[in-house]
């Protein structure tokens, strides 16, 4: 008899879980509270980054290679490659620990990298200004995942694979013991397996998660590039400056997209249903983080500002674990989960089907250096 799975949430984690479970032979129904793609979802934006630069988090640094392999399977399924390589430039100001820890992780894992003096950085990328930067860490690896295209592409692919995508179908309660969900219309739906991947709304369905993760309203700003800098920006890298006092990142322009500035400092506040307008003052404050780093900053103009909600775990450790033997939760991705979406879906399917013990899978998702997976082949390996 065909096993049945219910997935709640149509962001990258929910869609990836549905993709992997369908590939594993499940009949899958996915419930999304809004349209699909949902503009309120944390996954729906022009782009997300994938990069090896992870400070002292060696487990996540090592995980990125497997994430790339998982995305290759997605590109094959979709018949399209929603990715552009940019390379990764990490900056170190007065607080150099994050950069130094990233370099040590690269050395441990044998990842090619180059330490640049400030003057060399400015020479290679004339759109950038060294300012108080003492050094930079460059890796040719890393790039941009075109998030909106990926989410839309996965949804279209899943429909072709006879996955039931139930849009505008908010779930109001769960029975995690029976793997069932009750919708706002009063109907109840059951399955063999239930997967909860509802981003910043997770604690509304699983109140016990409120003590472990916090919705965090974040601002992103898109800058129009001066016309004489367009060619330079087409060759520019992503920029990361994740020291405690300057938690921001930059995504270069590509194919008409604006330069994007994101704030990685967690607000740990906000209501994902209401607090959606980015005010002019907070948008300008975020853009000002880049002021010391962009040449001729006064010539850039804010094209658009948006809000995005992270679901923050205090140590930025992912939560992928069973709630009961029949129900699983995927949450706590803290603003850096999209790059691992396809991989998390595949590993979730491994856990559901007992190819990986639940405890080992959860330890791996937390970024622990070593997770003792069993010797059984994973779905990722069987699909390569």
CATH of the domain at 325: 3.50.50.60
Q: Classify residue 319: in a domain, yes or no.
A: yes
Q: Which two tokens stand for residue 44?
A: 């729906």
- Beta partners for 139? 88
**By the 8 A CB rule, do 84 and 146 touch?**
yes
- From the list 289, 299, 221, 223, the residue with the least C-alpha distance to 259 is 223
- Reported as a single tens digit per residue, the pLDDT across 195-220 is 999 999 999 999 999 999 999 999 99
Q: Give Cβ neighbours of residue 28 (< 8 Å, ≥ 6 apart).
A: 4, 5, 6, 7, 18, 21, 22, 158, 163, 164
Mark which of 269, 295, 312 sits at the end of a domain: 312
DSSP code for 57: -
Provide the strand spans (E) within the chain. Answer: 4-8, 27-31, 48-50, 83-85, 88-92, 114-117, 135-139, 143-145, 164-166, 171-175, 180-183, 188-190, 193-196, 214-224, 238-243, 246-251, 259-263, 301-312, 319-324, 327-331
- Going by C-alpha positions, the residue among 172, 176, 203, 88 that lies closest to residue 136 is 88
Paired tokens of 236: 């520019």
Do 166 and 236 sit in the same domain of this protein?
Answer: no
Q: Kindly report the pTM of this predicted structure.
A: 0.95
In a domain, 51, yes or no: no
Closest CA to 326 of 353, 294, 297, 305: 353
Residue 374: predicted pLDDT: 46
For residue 52, being part of any structural domain is answered with: no
Q: Are residues 234 and 108 in the same domain?
A: yes
- In the chain, what are the helix, strand and coil shares in percent, each to the nearest 5? 35, 25, 40
Residue 375: its pLDDT value, please? 47
Position 160 in a domain: yes
CATH number, position 283: 3.30.9.10
Considering the domain architecture, whether residues 174 and 306 belong to the same structural domain is answered as: no
Q: Which of 312, 341, 372 is the last residue of a domain?
A: 312
187 & 235 share domain: no
Same domain, 135 and 220: yes
Residues 122, 224 within the same domain: yes
> What's the Rg (C-alpha) of the chain?
21
SS3 state of residue 187: coil
Q: What is the pLDDT of residue 383?
A: 59
**The pLDDT value given to residue 245:** 66
**Which contiguous run of DSSP H or E holds residue 128?**
none
376 has pLDDT over 60: no
Q: Give the contacts of 254 (CB within 8 A, at least 6 positions apart).
A: 84, 86, 144, 234
pLDDT of residue 264: 83
SS3 178: coil
Q: Do 201 and 240 reside in the same domain of the chain?
A: no
Q: What is the pLDDT of residues 295-311, one digit of tens each?
A: 999 999 999 999 999 99
Q: Count how many domains the chain has.
A: 2
CA distance 65 to 111: 10
Same domain, 366 and 244: no
Residue 122 in any domain: the answer is yes
3-state secondary structure at position 231? helix
Segments forming the whole domain that contains residue 96? 85-144+214-312
Identify the pLDDT of residue 261. 92
Tell me how far apart the alpha carbons of residues 94 and 213 are, in angstroms, rounded to a whole number: 30
Q: Which residue has the higher pLDDT, 245 or 161?
A: 161
Q: Of 257, 291, 312, which marks where a domain is finished? A: 312
Please indicate, yes or no, if residue 74 is contained in any of the structural domains: no
CA dihedral 290, 248, 236, 101 (to 10 degrees): 130
219: three-class secondary structure by DSSP: strand
Please check whether residues 251 and 295 belong to one and the same domain: yes
Sole residue written with tokens 């003052």: 281
Contact (CB, 8 A) for 118 and 134: yes
* Residues 161 and 302 both lie in one domain: no
CB 179 within 8 A of CB 188: no
DSSP bridge pairs for 217: 309
**Are both 169 and 229 inside the same structural domain?**
no
Residue 58, domain member (yes or no)? no
Q: Which pLDDT tens digit goes with each residue over 19-44?
A: 999 999 999 999 999 999 998 888 88
186 and 259, same domain (yes or no): no
């Amino acid at each position: 008899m065909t096993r049945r799975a219910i997935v709640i949430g149509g962001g990258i984690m929910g869609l990836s879980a549905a993709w992997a479970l369908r590939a594993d032979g499940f009949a899958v129904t996915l419930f999304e509270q809004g349209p699909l793609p949902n503009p309120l979802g944390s996954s729906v934006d022009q782009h997300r980054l994938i990069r090896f630069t992870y400070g002292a988090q060696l487990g996540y640094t090592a995980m990125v290679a497997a994430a790339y392999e998982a995305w290759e399977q997605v590109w094959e399924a979709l018949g399209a490659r929603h990715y552009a390589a940019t390379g990764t430039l990490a900056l170190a100001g007065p607080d150099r620990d994050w950069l130094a820890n990233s370099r040590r992780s690269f050395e441990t894992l044998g990842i090619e990298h180059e330490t640049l003096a400030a003057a060399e950085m400015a020479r290679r990328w004339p759109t950038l200004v060294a300012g108080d930067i003492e050094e930079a860490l460059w890796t040719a690896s890393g790039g941009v995942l075109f998030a909106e295209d990926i989410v839309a592409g996965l949804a279209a692919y899943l429909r072709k694979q006879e996955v039931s995508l139930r849009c505008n179908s908010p779930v109001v309660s769960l029975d995690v013991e029976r793997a069932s969900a009750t919708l706002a219309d009063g109907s109840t739906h059951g399955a063999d397996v239930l997967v909860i991947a509802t981003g910043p709304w997770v604690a509304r369905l699983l109140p016990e998660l409120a003590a472990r993760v916090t919705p965090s309203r974040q601002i992103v700003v898109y800058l129009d590039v001066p016309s004489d800098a367009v060619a330079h920006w087409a060759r520019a890298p992503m920029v990361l400056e994740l020291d405690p006092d300057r938690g921001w990142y930059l995504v270069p322009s590509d194919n008409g997209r604006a330069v994007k500035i994101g704030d990685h400092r967690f607000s740990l506040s906000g209501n994902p249903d209401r607090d959606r307008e980015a005010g002019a003052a907070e948008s300008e404050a975020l853009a000002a983080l880049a002021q010391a780093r962009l040449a001729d900053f006064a010539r850039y103009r804010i094209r658009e500002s948006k809000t995005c909600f992270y679901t923050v775990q205090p140590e930025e450790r992912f939560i992928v674990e069973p709630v009961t033997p029949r129900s699983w939760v995927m949450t706590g991705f803290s603003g850096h989960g999209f790059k691992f979406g396809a991989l998390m879906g595949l590993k979730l399917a491994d856990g559901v089907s007992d190819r990986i013990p639940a405890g080992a899978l959860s330890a791996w998702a937390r970024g622990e250096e070593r997770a003792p997976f069993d010797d059984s082949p994973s779905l990722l390996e069987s699909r390569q």
